[in-house]
Amino acid sequence: MAPMIQDDVEAHPADKVVAKANGIPESYDKLEDSKLQDIASKRLINYGVKFQKDIIVRSSGLYVYTAAGHKVLDWTSGQMSCLIGHGHPEVVKTIADHAANLDHLFSGMLSPPVLSLADRLTSVLPEGLDKCFFLSTGGESNEAAIKMAKVYTGKFEIVGLGASWHGMTAQALGTQYHFGRSGQGPLMPGMHMLPPPNTYRSIFRNADGSYDWEKELDYGWELIDRASCGSLAACIVECIQSSAGMHVLPQGYLKALKKHCEKRNMFLIVDEAQTGIGRCGDLFASVDFEGVVPDILTLSKTLGNGIPMSAVVTSNEIERICAERDFCFYTTHVNDPLPAAVGDKVLEIVLRDKLVENARVRGKQLKAGLHKLQQRYGCIGDVRGRGLMCGVEIVGDRESKSLAIPLASQIADRMYELGLWANLSSHSAFGGVFRIAPPITITEDEIEQGLQIMEEAFRTTEGSLPL
């Protein structure tokens, strides 16, 4: 609660923010904005990211608003999570209703929102994905899935893909080979890495220059078989490696991966944190596009539309055996009613309003527009993605595919200045890629608006190599 303000005491800057941010955004003067920045520098722990310079005071639909009054089209759905936009009125009402009447319960208690979401979710999934439970974050759901695989198989080795991102908890972190692994000593034992699928940059090539992902995958498993102590429990994979720069698994890759897992009597865990619930133009990328039923499916980000919400889904048989072997993942917020109600409402809206089809149609429009930009600017080395989940890779020149992170940063700054936010993946290993994932409620006009801003940003940034 904010401190009481006496007449002779200057109001704390945070109190002023609350007062103004509760209504329609007003323009904040520079003094107030500088005070907010001062609080940030003095009071917040850096958790591995460079904070953006602007303070965001409101979000609505596809836009976010800064303390200085800047309106920005949000093409990353917050942290790739607000699937149906910021402040969706039905989601707002659901939150308000459950905050007032059914918010949080003892972890052993059940409630109608949990049962409704479990029924709705499993009803749109195939046989073999029959039962689920709900947690808070993607890392948590992946942690639970890995533990479930270990309990069922009695084995402990886990395979992940290079450049993946599965979360910051111990086992989830151990399976990702992108960022966040340093500074803490040994990670979980028994973790192995497959080469990251990268159609644009992989050294595995056929005679005609095309990507030979099958040879790369087989080679990776040969190395893992040599390193393994014979206790392979599971492989965990994303359908699109987002944090690494929006790399889509090649067609057929997931089926081949499933066969490799079956050959070794290990589980396939598919992490659909970003691809699930329609963003790629299919309700689930693994099941509906790739035709693969994983042993365990995890969902998060998009299911909660920005509210902390995740799910673990598996088969009746796996659930039965794990229960017999005392599988435990008992948390404070397991099967909480309020976030479950939000997840249920999000899934209802996506299905009712045919938003999967909208993602497919608008995704084609988006990708066509990005390819037009690629034809105009030589710094765009690659355009990739599926549905409303796209990557634009910036290079120094197309021949060498040299990284051009400073140039990409200049273009990103210009885009933001013009009113568009598309996250730039700037890690040195995978840098210079714009990650684009707008809400799937986006309209034709809003796609065009964003593309026009991108065009202007490329046009007015020195070094963009106009063709």
Tell whether 365 and 337 lie within a shared domain.
no
Res. 451: pLDDT tops 90: yes
Residue 316, both tokens? 């009746």
Tell whether 346 and 369 lie within a shared domain.
no
The reply to whether 238 belongs to the active site is yes
Tell whether 130 and 259 lie within a shared domain.
yes
The reply to whether 274 belongs to the active site is yes
CATH number of the domain enclosing 370: 3.90.1150.10
Res. 15: pLDDT tops 60: no
pLDDT of residue 428: 62
Q: Which of 75, 150, 165, 319 is catalytic?
A: 165
Confirm whether 238 is domain-assigned: yes
pLDDT of residue 300: 97
Q: Which of 258, 279, 360, 435 is catalytic?
A: 435
* pLDDT digits 0-9 by tens, 27-63: 444 446 777 888 888 888 888 777 888 888 899 999 9
Confirm whether 441 is domain-assigned: yes
pTM of this structure: 0.91
Residue 457, both tokens? 């940003």
CATH number of the domain enclosing 202: 3.40.640.10
Q: Which of 157, 238, 282, 290 is catalytic?
A: 238
The reply to whether 435 belongs to the active site is yes
Q: Which of 171, 176, 241, 274 is catalytic?
A: 274
The 3-class secondary structure across the chain, one letter per residue, is CCCCCCCCCCCCHHHHHHHHHCCCCCCCCHHHHHHHHHHHHHHCCCCCCCCCCCCEEEEEECEEEECCCCEEEECCHHHHCCCCCECCHHHHHHHHHHHHHCCCCCCCCCCHHHHHHHHHHHHCCCCCCCEEEEECCHHHHHHHHHHHHHHHHCCCEEEEEECCCCCCCHHHHHCCECCCCCCCCCCCCCEEEECCCCCCCCCCECCCCCECHHHHHHHHHHHHHHHCCCCEEEEEEECEECCCCCEECCCCHHHHHHHHHHHCCCEEEEECCCCCCCCCCCCCHHHHHCCCCCCEEEECHHHHCCCCCEEEEECHHHHHHHHHCCCCCCCCCCCCHHHHHHHHHHHHHHHHCCHHHHHHHHHHHHHHHHHHHHHHECCEEEEEECCCCEEEEEECCCCCCCECHHHHHHHHHHHHHHCEECEEECCCCCCCEEEECCCCCCCHHHHHHHHHHHHHHHHCCCCCCEC
CB 286 within 8 A of CB 387: no
Q: How many domains does the chain have?
A: 2
Q: Which amino acid is at 58?
A: R
Please identify, among 304, 324, 352, the residue that sits at the C-terminal boundary of a domain: 352
Residue 151, both tokens? 């309990």
pLDDT of residue 187: 84
Res. 77: pLDDT tops 90: yes
pLDDT of residue 24: 44
Phi/psi for 286 (5° steps) reads: -70, -50
- What is the pLDDT averaged over residues 152-161? 98
14 pLDDT tier (thresholds 50, 70, 90): very low
The reply to whether 444 belongs to the active site is no
Please identify, among 317, 337, 352, the residue that sits at the C-terminal boundary of a domain: 352
- What is the pLDDT averaged over residues 412-416? 95
Nearest to 442 by CA among 70, 84, 91: 84
- What is the pLDDT averaged over residues 362-368? 98
* pLDDT digits 0-9 by tens, 264-290: 999 999 999 999 999 999 999 999 999
Residue scoring higher pLDDT (182 or 194) = 194
The reply to whether 225 belongs to the active site is no
Segments forming the whole domain that contains residue 399: 355-459
Res. 4: pLDDT tops 80: no
Q: Which of 279, 301, 345, 414 is catalytic?
A: 301
The reply to whether 271 belongs to the active site is yes
Q: How far is CA 344 from CA 78, 129, 179, 358, in A?
A: 20, 17, 32, 20
Q: Which of 33, 140, 271, 393 is catalytic?
A: 271
Res. 196: pLDDT tops 90: yes
- What is the pLDDT averaged over residues 55-81? 93
* pLDDT digits 0-9 by tens, 91-150: 999 999 999 999 999 999 999 999 999 999 999 999 999 999 999 999 999 999 999 999
